[in-house]
Structure 1
Amino acid sequence: MSNVNGSIQQPRVIGSPKSEDTLKQGFFKKAMRKIVQGLTSWEAMCLVIGVLFGRAMILTNLTPFILPFFATVGLLRPKRRFLAFFATLLGAITLSGWQTLFTVLSLVVYMILRAGVVRVSNREEARLLPYIVFAAGIISRLGFDVFRNGTLIPTQEMLAIVEAGLSFLLCLIFLQSMPLFTTKTRKRALKTEEIICFIILLASTLTGTMGLSYHGVALDHVLTRYSVLVFAYVGGAAIGATVGVVVGLIMSLANVAGLFQMSLLAFSGLLGGLLKEGKRWGVGFGLIIGTLLIGLYGQGYNQLFNTTAESIIAFVLFLLTPRVLLSRLASFIPGTKEYQQQQQQYLKKIRDVTASRVEQFSSLFQALSTSFNHQPTTNSEDQEHQVDVFLSDVTEKTCQHCFKKEYCWIKNFDKTYGYMNAIMQETKEEPMIKSAKLRRDWMHHCIKPEKVVDVIYEEQQHFKEKIKFKHSMQESRRLVADQLMGVSQVMGDFAKEIQRERDTHQQQEEQILFKLQEIGLDVENVDIYNLEEGSVDIDMTIPRDDHGESEKVIAPILSDILGESIVIKKRVEPDVVNGYGLVTFGSAKAYEIETGVAHTAKGGSWISGDNYSTFELGGGKYALAISDGMGNGERAHVESYETLKLLSKVLKSGIDETIAIKSINSILSLRSTDEIFSTLDLVMVDLQNARAKFLKIGSNPSFVKRGNKVMMIEAGNLPMGIIQDFDVEVVDEQLKAGDLLIMMSDGILEAPRHVENTEMWIKRKIKELKTEHPQEIADVLLEEVIRSSDGAIEDDMTIVVSRIQHHTPKWAAIPTYSHDHKKMSKAQ
């Protein structure tokens, strides 16, 4: 068979070896997943933990774990209360009959107290639970001791208070850690308190395995070391050492003779976490080394064999642990790769949802634009219908009450209709029939010829207004459609930016960090967000930059490594003297613009009707604009200022420049009924390739000086605000480094007296300039223009001069590495 592209596809053979291997692997993964889900189900863990808590004892005969466990399960899962009761009772049976009796007594006392307190109190049960556990623990222990011994010994009273206090604390801990097994919401990072509570819960559970051994190999030793291996592998040295200390401490409370186990577990967790780069074998090697060192110190050669055997068995169990179980545990611990991947997936989901919503809005605006842009086509039938409606209005005012109505419109309909249609064409400008034959025929046909002609002329003026208004509405709809389409394009581009994920540049980050540290620079961290040419974005954490190392050394080195000019985009100084600050490096623009401005108001006053503006746009573009309001003074100043303000906001939003100018023109034309106009001279320069777009709305020509050559750039567009609909003529021009761009308002060209061709005169003055400094050029040209008008300033004058030049950072790159290294950073 063939696919859409025409390539041949091989038929899939179900019985092929590759297919069988794939099926086996899939079956194995599903089976392991089912086993892990069964082992980690809440009911199974509740049963196992309950049995172990029923067996767990500390300080010879204290059992502070039963009541907190039962109370917490009853609060979180009320329907599983009897499962917890059965599990703890089963664990107590494995110890002795007295322990079984105490377990039943303590649980019954707790349930009676809880029922009474919850019925009387109005507070939440979770707040009262530790106190109920404390009271039930004292009552049950004292009652059990009296029943067993017949009397109450003071030391037993103290032990009862200690046991109840431990139950109180363990209840608080279990209320923090047990919900981690019950929640089915989205995975989240564990807080430090939750991690510690979880470790205490784990250590308390392992206490129930004490006393179980086989040929000198203790089960509690194997399981505690296995736990340390697991946490050291998923959390690193800090988590591994913490688990070792907490588990060893709680286990030593149950058996004081095994106090050295705390040192063994803590040291093994630290070594295993430091060697986690060696995967499971590295972590296991850390446990074996810790066992040999601490084992010799704590027990000598006699117990070394059994201790080593326990560590080996724990290591084998660790090797047999499914990867999915370790990954699931690691996803809860901040700083792990699994946790970061989970966070990336969550952020990607949020990003996709946001982008999808923005795309929906983009599609909505696009649909609205299409709806507004739909213009009904005007065919001959529509034109005939309009003529019929027009003539119906005329006949209603003239022929409706005429006694010859039946003669004209029934017996001679075609003749009368033809006369009126011809008269309508003749009286477009004035109420008079120019054709002598038509006038003579009409005089013989109609008894009210002059009145009909006058009515046709009057109705035709109203008809013109209707047509003009309809045309204006159509143009307004088209303008709204263009604006909606522009917004749709901006939102579509924004959705694409949202969906763009940060590429992982871990290898490049390590390479840059190594090279900078190799030459002696103290760089704490390197984060690369983008390595695309022209859009490099790198963050570095460095000490306080008092001597400018980031600008003088780091930026040139990055420029040499990445093969393009890199500059500092942002700098955040540290808050403390010896702290670390953040420096953001980014791509420098290929070109830069230096601008000089000279301007004066009419008669030398303070307020000018001209305004100018220079601002940066997104995507490495730079805009220069001059606006000249109609007339002079404050009103013209406000008009030109508002024009530039609107222009800046609209262009910075990302809307196309032609749509932006049309939108501004519509706003200016509809904002006031007064005849307020303003010109606009806009140049947008791409700083990456020096490509320029000139948009001139009623403005004067601009000039580009390149060496000894002067070019004039002009376009013919009406000033803004005169009409609502006009086509914006855009002139593209490729600029070069060293070009001088001169923009000016109309007061400059109108000022020179006794000059017939002012444009050629300005062009000659620009060509004769000896300087290339923009500010000097602007000052010289303004002075020349004022001198040519005998010192009179009869209009507002503004000159903006910009020089395009290659961008060279202050500290240029000094090659320090080979060309191969330059390739390595971006290619990998």
Structure 2
Amino acid sequence: MLRRVTKGVIEPVRGLAFPDKALTLTTSATEKIKKGTNIVFYQWGLLIFVVGFLLGRAMILSEITPFVLPFVAAIYVLKRDKLGIAALAVFAGAMTHMLESSWFVLASLLIFIIYQKVVEKFNDNTTKVLPFTVFFASLSARIILTFFMQGQITSYDWMMAGVEASLSFILTMIFLQSVPLITAKRSQQPLKNEEIVCLIILLASVMTGTIGWMIYDLTVEHILARYLVLLFAFVAGAAIGSTVGVVTGLILSLASVASLYQMSLLAFAGLLGGLLKEGRKIGVSIGLLIGTLLIGLYGEGSEHVLVTVMESGVAIAVFLITPRSWISKLARYIPGTVEHSKEQQQYLRKIRDVTAGRVEQFSHLFQTLSNSFSSTSANVEVDDVESEVDYFLSNVTEKTCQACFKKDRCWVNNFNNTYESMYKIMNEVEKNGEIKDPIFKAEWKKYCVKHEKVVHVVRNELGQFQANQKLKKQVLESRKLVADQLLGVSRVMNDFAKEIQREKEAHYVQEEQILEALRSVGLEVGHIDIYQLEQGNIEIEMSVANDGGHGQCEKVVAPMLSDILGETIIIKNEERGFYPNGYSHVSFGSAKKYVVETGVATVAKGGAYVSGDSYSTIELGSGKYAIAISDGMGNGERAHLESNETLQLLQKVLQSGIEETVAIKSVNSVLSLRTTDEIFSTLDLAMIDLQDANAKFLKIGSIPSFIKRGSTVTKIEASNLPMGIIQEFDVDVVSEQMKAGDLLIMMSDGIFDAPKHVENKEMWMKRIISEVSSEDPQEVADLILERVIRNEGSIEDDMTIVVAKVKRNMPKWAAIPIYKPKKIEKKKAQ
């Protein structure tokens, strides 16, 4: 008794202590049931048997069976290992319905196999000719069977045989698309509209096999047809629902003329159910009931409407107890449904993640390579330099001291003194080309019997030693350059991977607010998509009705968005007539806090047509404005090509997102390795941040630039060799905080070095700039160039001057505070 009580107490405690185990067992049992069901229905072919059995019973006009042969033919082509099951199923279905029909099924199957074997010997594409094989097999079987049963063939028999064969021909093409949808586990690929219609025809054909089945006074095919309409109306809406109703009703009416009114009932019920699908299952069910009452009274009268309503009630009951998981699984294959959209988004998200992962892998690869090159360059030890010196002295000793009779006295008994003397000789020869110190020279003459030969050999070996040292240094510098370039590429790819992974956030509330605001003033706006709401980085796209070129997007829409979002919004891009209805596609974005207005004046040496100077002004996508001047060595076309190519390379590298210093080093590396000609070019680059007006100046062999703020002129300079002379150099970056109204004056050496009689050219240029009273960049550039040319009286070199004015970005149109919605929250820029 004690054991029993103890056991009864302990067992519930165990059940409470291990809930996860029970859940695991339940999940495992569910998986086993699913797996067993799949094996029975798909691998063993039970589903094929059921479908074939019902198609074997299906008849049209009470005497022709066009469904049997197309189904078996489709199984023959698609799943030949299940051909025996399909043939047995259709024959068994025909036996349960009509004996004459079973003989036709048997005869048509035998003739089809014979025809198909003959066709396969002469044509490899069996699928293409399959409908024709089915047509002649059906026609032959019906004619032969009619002749044996009646002894003659009338014109009516020929007509019915032709109709049956023609229907079989069409159904073969339909079943080739629809049979795989129910006889095999389908992948996540969505269904096409044609595939949906083919599937409905197949299902309706299967329902035809249930004609004559009754449950009490209720007709089974009517219940199944209405259930099918309910299912598709709920999943896909009114269009698909009404289509299913029309197709199903048409096939059922062909099988039984008494069911002709069913086509109207099913089509109307599918339409109403699809329109009421927002009411979930109850709404679709109400649509079927309304359609049943209206069409039922019209079709069979009030005495039979009760039976029709009961049939709809049974279909609704089965529909209501249908698991949600089954409906969701079907909805994933129907285009336009929420489940299908989620499936597509999940697929796109997977592709996006895979792409971002691959980009990140490449980013890590380039970073690893960069670290490898950097570590190789940094691991140069002092011992390597000492070993190089030892190797150099050993070469000198081998050519001078190896055969000397005092070798032992010098290198064995007095090693330190001899080594120090040889090292000092190397330093003296390297600096002066010979021994200048008279005291040391006299001591060395007394110490070594081959003193002149030693100095001569050191002088000869030193050239090769210095060349090797220079080569090693260049290799190390090249490694460092490659490491910087790889690191720059790694950072760009890492940023690109983060950009790929950034999803479009849901801004439904904000989109509705903006849409309501714009429509409230009478603007015709189709849709609005908000991609980004970060402060200073807003991205909005919308479709707007064509205004005939009056600029309402710039004058009305953008100012209203500026008021709603609390910052200046401008048009980024506008494509007129982009949509089929004539609407324009407009992209809006945040305006930069500053803008740069430029003016350029240039002239070639001696008034020629081609100048060796080149310039470029470009706004980069990162919110920066780049101004660059390049001066090729010399004048004329060759110098122009050199400077222009420098700017083109720099522009492409900067637009890729690589940092400025790395970009310049990359361009310099290309120019220095590209040719052995002594053709070099200077580069004067200014990068202005349009958000805070901070400017970075990178000068490679160029002359100073100047910033004019009011009456004050400030010089900006840095010292670097021209590009292409050496492979590695340190780029001096000079930063300067600019303000609204500042003028940046950049020029080539043709202007700065023009006055030959002026000693302090810097003060001379500052005085000229300060004397210019104009604030217009183009006018300032023209005045300075004119002043320089008039002062000298001739153009001795190519002259180029670029003047940039930093201005606050004042919107062209003021914000329009017409609509005050609830405050729209924006993210701050990271």
> Equivalent of 1:613, from 616, 633, 643?
616
Report matched runs for 1:249-288 at 5 Å.
Answer: 249-288=250-289
Tell me, in whole angstroms, the C-alpha distance in 1 between the residues paired with 2:444 and 2:612.
Answer: 58
Matched, 1:57 2:56: no
Matched, 1:676 2:689: no
Tell me, in whole angstroms, the C-alpha distance in 1 between the residues paired with 2:202 and 2:76.
Answer: 17
Residue 822 of structure 1, CA deviation: 3.4
* Residues 562, 825 of structure 1: 8 Å contact kept: no
Report matched runs for 1:116-265 at 5 Å.
Answer: 116-119=118-121, 121-181=122-182, 186-265=187-266
Q: 1:754 to 1:407 in 2, by over 3 A?
A: closer
* Secondary structure of residue in 2 paired with 1:427: helix
Report matched runs for 1:780-819 at 5 Å.
Answer: 780-787=783-790, 789-819=791-821
> 2:700 aligns to what?
697
* Secondary structure of residue in 1 paired with 2:252: helix
> 1:602 aligns to what?
605
* Residues 40, 46 of structure 2: 8 Å contact kept: yes
* Residues 508, 825 of structure 1: 8 Å contact kept: no
Report matched runs for 1:702-717 at 5 Å.
Answer: 702-717=705-720
Q: 1:768 to 1:276 in 2, by over 3 A?
A: farther
Q: 1:635 to 1:102 in 2, by over 3 A?
A: closer
TM norm structure 1: 0.91
Q: 1:23 to 1:813 in 2, by over 3 A?
A: farther
> 2:298 aligns to what?
297
* Residues 544, 577 of structure 1: 8 Å contact kept: no
* Alignment RMSD (CA, Å): 2.9
AA matched with 1:218: T
Matched, 1:685 2:688: yes
> 1:652 aligns to what?
655
* Secondary structure of residue in 1 paired with 2:377: coil
* Secondary structure of residue in 1 paired with 2:619: strand
Residue 530 of structure 1, CA deviation: 3.2
Q: Deviations over 1:85-131 (max 9, x none)?
A: 22212322332333333322322232233233323x22421122212
Residue 25 of structure 1, CA deviation: 8.6
AA matched with 1:247: T
Report matched runs for 1:352-751 at 5 Å.
Answer: 352-373=353-374, 374-375=376-377, 377-379=379-381, 381-546=383-548, 547-574=550-577, 579-751=582-754
Q: 1:640 to 1:574 in 2, by over 3 A?
A: same
Q: 1:633 to 1:506 in 2, by over 3 A?
A: same
* Secondary structure of residue in 2 paired with 1:178: helix
Q: 1:16 to 1:102 in 2, by over 3 A?
A: same
Residue 401 of structure 1, CA deviation: 3.0
Tell me, in whole angstroms, the C-alpha distance in 1 between the residues paired with 2:438 and 2:100.
Answer: 134
Once the two structures are overlaid, the 10-residue window that deviates more, 293-302 or 496-505, is 496-505
AA matched with 1:476: S
> 2:95 aligns to what?
93
Matched, 1:80 2:89: no
Once the two structures are overlaid, the 10-residue window that deviates more, 536-545 or 35-44, is 35-44
Tell me, in whole angstroms, the C-alpha distance in 2 between the residues paired with 1:770 and 1:431.
Answer: 59
Tell me, in whole angstroms, the C-alpha distance in 1 between the residues paired with 2:17 and 2:326.
Answer: 32
Residue 442 of structure 1, CA deviation: 2.5
* Residues 699, 745 of structure 1: 8 Å contact kept: yes
* Residues 233, 273 of structure 1: 8 Å contact kept: yes
> 1:7 aligns to what?
none
AA matched with 1:316: A
AA matched with 2:824: K
AA matched with 2:139: I
AA matched with 2:620: L
Tell me, in whole angstroms, the C-alpha distance in 2 between the residues paired with 1:29 and 1:689.
Answer: 62
> 2:11 aligns to what?
none
> 1:10 aligns to what?
none
Residue 182 of structure 1, CA deviation: 5.2
Q: Deviations over 1:268-312 (max 9, x none)?
A: 111111122222222222212222222222222212222122222
Residue 638 of structure 1, CA deviation: 2.2
Q: Deviations over 1:166-207 (max 9, x none)?
A: 111101111122233456674223222222212211211111
* Secondary structure of residue in 2 paired with 1:428: helix
Kindly tell me the number of residue pairs found equivalent between the two proteins. Answer: 813
Tell me, in whole angstroms, the C-alpha distance in 2 between the residues paired with 1:806 and 1:32.
Answer: 71
Tell me, in whole angstroms, the C-alpha distance in 2 between the residues paired with 1:460 and 1:183.
Answer: 83
Q: 1:339 to 1:603 in 2, by over 3 A?
A: same
* Secondary structure of residue in 1 paired with 2:431: coil
* Secondary structure of residue in 2 paired with 1:655: coil
* Residues 431, 453 of structure 1: 8 Å contact kept: no
Q: 1:625 to 1:231 in 2, by over 3 A?
A: same
* Residues 752, 786 of structure 1: 8 Å contact kept: no
Tell me, in whole angstroms, the C-alpha distance in 1 between the residues paired with 2:147 and 2:723.
Answer: 101
Residue 31 of structure 1, CA deviation: 8.0
* Residues 544, 578 of structure 1: 8 Å contact kept: no
Tell me, in whole angstroms, the C-alpha distance in 1 between the residues paired with 2:710 and 2:133.
Answer: 93
Once the two structures are overlaid, the 10-residue window that deviates more, 174-183 or 604-613, is 174-183
Matched, 1:339 2:340: yes
Tell me, in whole angstroms, the C-alpha distance in 2 between the residues paired with 1:369 and 1:379.
Answer: 20
* Residues 248, 262 of structure 1: 8 Å contact kept: yes
Tell me, in whole angstroms, the C-alpha distance in 2 between the residues paired with 1:312 and 1:548.
Answer: 59
* Residues 720, 732 of structure 2: 8 Å contact kept: yes
* Residues 107, 141 of structure 2: 8 Å contact kept: yes
Residue 376 of structure 1, CA deviation: 6.2
AA matched with 1:220: E
> 1:5 aligns to what?
none
Residue 819 of structure 1, CA deviation: 5.0
Tell me, in whole angstroms, the C-alpha distance in 2 between the residues paired with 1:473 and 1:508.
Answer: 58
Q: Deviations over 1:242-277 (max 9, x none)?
A: 111111111111111221111111111111111222
AA matched with 1:317: V
Q: 1:577 to 1:367 in 2, by over 3 A?
A: closer
> 2:328 aligns to what?
327
* Secondary structure of residue in 1 paired with 2:731: coil
Tell me, in whole angstroms, the C-alpha distance in 1 between the residues paired with 2:54 and 2:259.
Answer: 19
Tell me, in whole angstroms, the C-alpha distance in 2 between the residues paired with 1:16 and 1:596.
Answer: 81
Q: 1:146 to 1:511 in 2, by over 3 A?
A: farther
Tell me, in whole angstroms, the C-alpha distance in 2 between the residues paired with 1:74 and 1:80.
Answer: 8
* Residues 627, 680 of structure 1: 8 Å contact kept: yes
Q: Deviations over 1:539-578 (max 9, x none)?
A: 3233433133332332223333333333222222338996
Once the two structures are overlaid, the 10-residue window that deviates more, 379-388 or 454-463, is 379-388
* Residues 579, 585 of structure 2: 8 Å contact kept: no
Tell me, in whole angstroms, the C-alpha distance in 2 between the residues paired with 1:296 and 1:39.
Answer: 44
Q: Which runs of 5+ in 2 are unaligned?
A: 1-13
Residue 799 of structure 1, CA deviation: 1.8
* Residues 610, 629 of structure 1: 8 Å contact kept: yes
* Residues 697, 719 of structure 1: 8 Å contact kept: yes
Once the two structures are overlaid, the 10-residue window that deviates more, 203-212 or 792-801, is 792-801
Once the two structures are overlaid, the 10-residue window that deviates more, 811-820 or 199-208, is 811-820
* Secondary structure of residue in 1 paired with 2:430: coil
* Residues 632, 796 of structure 1: 8 Å contact kept: yes
Once the two structures are overlaid, the 10-residue window that deviates more, 453-462 or 199-208, is 453-462
TM norm structure 2: 0.91
